Amino acid sequence: MVTPVSIVAKDLTITLSELRNLMELRKTDAVKKIQANYGDINQLCKRLKTSPTDGIYGIPSELDTRRTVFGKNYIPPKKPQTFLELVWDALQDPTLCFLIIAALISLGLSFYNPPGGSAAACHATDMEEEDEEEEMDWIEGCAILLSVLCVVLVTAFNDWSKEKQFQGLQRRIESEQKFTVIRKGEVIQVPITDLVVGDVAQIKYGDLIPADGLLLQGHDLKVDESSLTGESDHVKKSLTADPMLLSGTHVMEGSGKMVITAVGINSQAGIILSLLGVGETSEKTKDKDNKAKKTKDSSEAPKNLDTVDTERGDEDVEIKTNEEEKPKKAPSHKKEKSVLQAKLTRLAVQIGKGGLAMSILTVIVLLARFFIINFVMMKLVWTKECTPLYLRRILKDLIIGVTILVVAVPEGLPLAVTISLAYSVKQMMKDNNLVRHLDACETMGNATTICSDKTGTLTMNRMTVVQAFISNTHHRVIPELHLVHPTTLDCLRKGIATNCAYTSQIASPERRGGLPRQLGNKTECALLSFLLELKQDYEAIRKMIPEEQLYKVYTFNSERKSMSTVLKNDDGSYQMFTKGASEIVLQKCCFILNEDGESVAFEEEDYALMIKNVIDPMASEGLRTICLAFRDFPADDEEPDWDDEDDIIKDLTCISIVGIEDPVRPEVPEAIRKCQNAGIVVRMVTGDNFNTARAIAVKCGILQPGDNFLCLEGKEFNRRIRNSEGEIEQELFDKVWPTLRVLARSSPSDKYNLVDGIINSNVTKQRQVVAVTGDGTNDAPALKRADVGFAMGIAGTDVAKEASDIILTDDNFSSIVKAVMWGRNVYDSISKFLQFQLTVNIVAVIVAFTGACITQNSPLKAVQMLWVNLIMDTFASLALATEKPTEALLKRKPYGETLFDIENGRTAAPEGPPTQHYTIVFNAFVMMQIFNEINARKVHGERNVFEGIFTNSIFCCIFVGTLIVQILIVQVGGKPFSCASLTLEQWLWSIFLGIGSLLWGQLIVSIPNKCLCFLKEVGEEIVEAEDEIFEEEVAEEEKEIDYGEREFLQSRLLWVRGLTRIQTQCRVVNAFRASLYDDLEAATMGPDEMV
C-alpha cells in the first residue's frame, strides 16, 4: 500500500495532542491505550496515512502538510546574544568601569574652574604646565573614553564572531546527520530535520533515535533510555510489551522499524527542552534559563543532534561488564578546565595580582610625592579654591594606576586561546577532523598513546572475500561455480542473504568503471559480494523471504561475536543460519558439509586441524576469518525455547570458512612512523583473530622485525592484569602495558580497562595522555574515559559519535596525525602569544612605576597604555594565534601534562608626555614590541624567525596595520595621546632600536640550556584563593593530573631572556637620561624642585 499522492490536513484523522498524550505512556499502559483507541499500530498507521511496509509517498506537498499539522523535526536553539548585549557584557569589566568613571570625573573637573583655582595661585608644583593648557584638559578624558570604547567594541566583535563560528559549525553538524527511512517503498537516507510524522524509519544497533515513534517490527531490540528516565538497564522493546521508542535514546542491540509519531518540540526530548526555554525569546524565559541551562547535563535533555561543546562533560557511559571487571574506583581525570585552560588561569591570576600590587604602589608613590612636596615641604594649605585642581591631579594619578592594572591583567589570554582553538577547529575540518569539544584540540597536542581500532581506521574498510574453505577444499581464490556442490551453494545463498542485515547491500558504482558501492556493514557486504561472484542473486532470496518473515534474529554483539537468524518453513520446521568469528562458531559445530553436500561429523581433532591448516594460514596473511553454519529444527521436535541462546546456537553444521581481506590504507604506515618519531606509541586494539591482528600490525609498522613487544589476546591480557580474586591490580597492569602493542580478540571492557589503566599508571614521570578510536556502541565507555576520543564518521554509530571528542569524517588514521599537529600548534600559538604579552606586561608596568617614582609622572599615559594594551591583547592574539602547523611539530616529543608557562622578558623603554623626548621613548618602546612580534613567532630556539612569515597573511596585515596606526598616533595624535610629531631622523632611531630586539633575540638563543639549570619556574608553589576550592575537589586525583608544577626547561630559558631584556631596557633608559633628559631637567627645574 502506497500513500495517496495528495494529502490535506483533514485526511489525517489523528491530532497532535492525541499523539503527544500517547507518547507520554510507557510499556503495557501504552499497549492498552493503542488497543483501546486504535486497535493496533497498523490501524494507527492508517489514520496517519502511511504504510507500515512502504512508508509515505514523500512528495513536497505531503511533507509540507505533515509539518504544518505535526510540526518540524527541529528544536530551535536558544537565541544568541546580540552585539549590543555583548558590548554590555564587555562593559562589565571592573577596570574599564573605573576608567569610565574616572574619565567622566576628569571631564567634569576640566570644565570647573573656580576663581583663584589656577596652579600659580595655589602654588602647586609640577602643575604649572597643566595650568597653561587648562583649556585642553577635557581632551584626556575624551581620549580615555574613546579608547575604552575601542577596547569594548573589539572585545564584543571578537565574541560575536566566535559565536558565529560556533553556529556555523553547529549547522554543518546538523546538515550531515542523516537517518534511514522508507518512502514510496524505497529505502533512502534523509537529513534528520526532514523527518515527519508518519515516516517509517529503520533503526539498528548504535543509532540515536531522532524522534518519538512506535515499533512496527523488532529483532532482539534493546534501548538505553537512561538519558530520559535515568535508569541504566537496557529496555527490551517488543510489539506486545513495550513498543514506545523515544527521541534521544540509544539502540544498544538489535534492529527494527518504527513509525514516527512526534517530532521536534513535540517529542519527549523536545518537551523537556521546552521546559528549559529552548527556542523561546522572551526575556523572562531567557533570564530564567541562563542558570538552568548551564547546570543541566545534556544527557538529561538530549537533542537529536550532535552539539559543539567548549568543555567536555564527565557523564559516565554504561559499560556492560561484571562488577569484578570494574575497578573499585574509576576516577575521572577530566576537570571543568582543560590542562591549558587551568594553566593559563593560574598564570593570568598571578600576573593580575602582580599588576594590582604595582598599580596600587604606583598610585601610592604618586600621591605620596604630591602631598609631601606640596603640603609638607612647601607647607601649602588645602583651600576651597584649589580643591578642583588638587582633585584633578589626584584623579590623574588614579587613572595611571588603573591603566597599569589594565595593561598588567592579561585579558588577551582567553582571547588568544579562543582564537587559536576556533581557528584550529575550522582548519581541522578541512583535514577531516570534526571537533565536538574544543579542549580536545590542545589535549591532542599532549598525546603520548593512541589506542586504535583496526578495521576502517588502519585498513580501508572495503572488505572482499579472497579465500574460502568449501567442501573440504581450501581455495586460495574464489572457486568456480561448478566446484561447489548445489546443496552447499543453496545453503550459502540462503544463509548469507537472510543472515545479513537487509540494510547491507551492494549498489551500482557511482561512476562508470568504478567499484560497486558497499552499503551497510562492510563484512556483510563482502559476503554478499562473494555470492555475486558465485553468480548467485541474493536479492531474489530477500524478495522471497522479506524481513518481516524472519522468525527470530540474534543480532551481532561483542559478547556473541556472531549473528543468527531463524526461518520458519511452511511445514512447521525451523532453519537457523549463523555467521561469526571462525574459531568461536566452529567450536559450536558438530557437523560439516563435505564435497558431496552431505553433513558429516566434525570432531575435536578436525577442529584442531581446521585451525592449523585453514584459519591460521588465512589469519597470518592478515585475513579476517568468518565461519558460516546452519542448524535444522525438525517439525516433529518440540519447539525450543528461543530465549535460551546456549541451547539454540549449538550442534551447528559448518558450511564454509571465508577469508576476508581488508587492505591496509597506503598512507597508514607513514602516518604511524610519524607518530613514533613524535614520541607517540600506537597500539592496535581489535576484535579480530590474534594472527590477523599481528599480521596487520606488521604491515602498518606498529610491530617491527626484532621488536620485543607484546601481542596478547583478551583472555591472556585479563589473566595478566588480575589478581587471584579476579580484580584488576594497577601494579600487575603496569608490568604489561608499556610493552603491549597489539590486543586481539578484545572485548569493549578490555578496551576500557586498557585505557583506564594507562591513564592511572605512575610508571612514567608524566601522566600518559591517551587517545582512542572507536566506531561501535560498546566503544563508548573507552571513548569517554580517554583524554581524546575519536569516532568514525562513516562506520561509527551515533552512540560512539556522541561519546567522542573528535569525529574522523574519513575514518582514516592519518587524520589523527593531523589532529596531533594541530594540537601541538595550539600550544605553540599560545606560547608565542604569552612570550610576546608577558614582555609588554612586565616592561610597561616597570616603565610606568619607575617613571612615577623618578619624575612624579608616568611616562606612559593612560591613552598610550590603552593603545599598547590593544596591541598586545587583540592584535597580537589574532596575529600569533593563527600560525599554521608544520611537519617540524612531529619531530619532538609530546609536552605531556607539564606546565608550559612561557615567561617574561624582551625589549623595553619608557615614553613621555607631549615632548619629543618622551615621544621618542614611547615610539621606541612600541617599535620594539612590533618587531618583537617577529621574535615571538619562534619558541624553540630557531634562529630564522622570518621563516614562513609570508604564509600567514593575517600576521603580515596586522604587523603593517599596527605600524601605520603607530605612525598616525605619533604624528597626528597630539595632546590626546600625549605625543609630539617626530622628525625623520628620530623615526629612524626609533626603528633602529626596535630592530635591535631581533638582534637581542639571536644573542639570547645562543645561551646553552645547560647553563640555566639553576633557575626556577615563575608560578611555582603559587597558591590562589580561587584554586584552593578546585584543588580540594581533585585532591584524590592529584596523582593522575599534574598541571605542570614541575620545573620546565623552556621556562627557565625564557626567565633568563627576561632578565637580559630588562637589563637592555635599563641601558636604553640610562642612555636617554644621560643625553636628553638630564639637560632638559637642569634647564627646566628650579632649585626647590631638585630636592
Known catalytic residues are 453
* 1028: three-class secondary structure by DSSP: helix
Tell me the HSE value of 637 on the side-chain side, using a 13 A CA sphere: 9
**Cα separation, 61 vs 80, whole angstroms:** 32
**Cα separation, 611 vs 609, whole angstroms:** 5
Bridge partners of 505?
519
DSSP string, 970-985: HHH-TGGGT-----HH
Question: Regarding beta strands 681-685 and 449-452, do their DSSP bridges make them parallel or antiparallel, or are they unpaired?
Answer: parallel
Dihedral sign from CA coordinates of 401, 402, 407, 411: positive
**Cα separation, 262 vs 914, whole angstroms:** 71
Tell me the HSE value of 286 on the side-chain side, using a 13 A CA sphere: 12
* 915: three-class secondary structure by DSSP: coil
| Whole-number Cα distances in Å, 861 to 65, 106, 845, 914 | 67, 14, 12, 10
Cell of 734: 603496569
Region class of 206: left (phi > 0), else alpha (psi between -120 and 50), else beta: left
| Whole-number Cα distances in Å, 644 to 394, 639, 650 | 89, 12, 11
Distance, CA of 698 to chain centre? 31
Residue among 150, 51, 148, 61 nearest 107 (CA): 148
Most distant CA atoms of the chain, gap in Å: 126
Strand ranges, E, within 80-154: none
3-state helix, strand, coil in the chain (%, to 5): 50, 15, 35
279 CB neighbour count, 10 Å cutoff: 17
**Cα separation, 1052 vs 1044, whole angstroms:** 14
Cell of 699: 604491515
Query: Do 866 and 380 form a contact (C-beta atoms < 8 A)?
Result: no
Query: Do 1061 and 908 form a contact (C-beta atoms < 8 A)?
Result: yes
Residue with cell 550532535: 306
Residue among 226, 251, 25 nearest 237 (CA): 251
Residue among 763, 682, 760, 711 nearest 449 (CA): 682
Angle 722-738-692 from CA coordinates, rounded to 5°: 85
DSSP string, 513-524: T-PPEEES-HHH
900 CB neighbour count, 10 Å cutoff: 23
Query: Do 910 and 850 form a contact (C-beta atoms < 8 A)?
Result: yes
Dihedral sign from CA coordinates of 907, 910, 913, 915: negative
Q: Is 791 exposed, middle or buried (0-12, 13-18, 19+ CB in 10 A)?
A: buried
CB-based burial, 452-480: b 16+ in 10 Å, e otherwise: bbbbbbbbbbbbbbbbbbbbeeebeebbe
DSSP string, 35-74: HHHTSSHHHHHHHTT-BTTTBB---HHHHHHHHHHH--S-
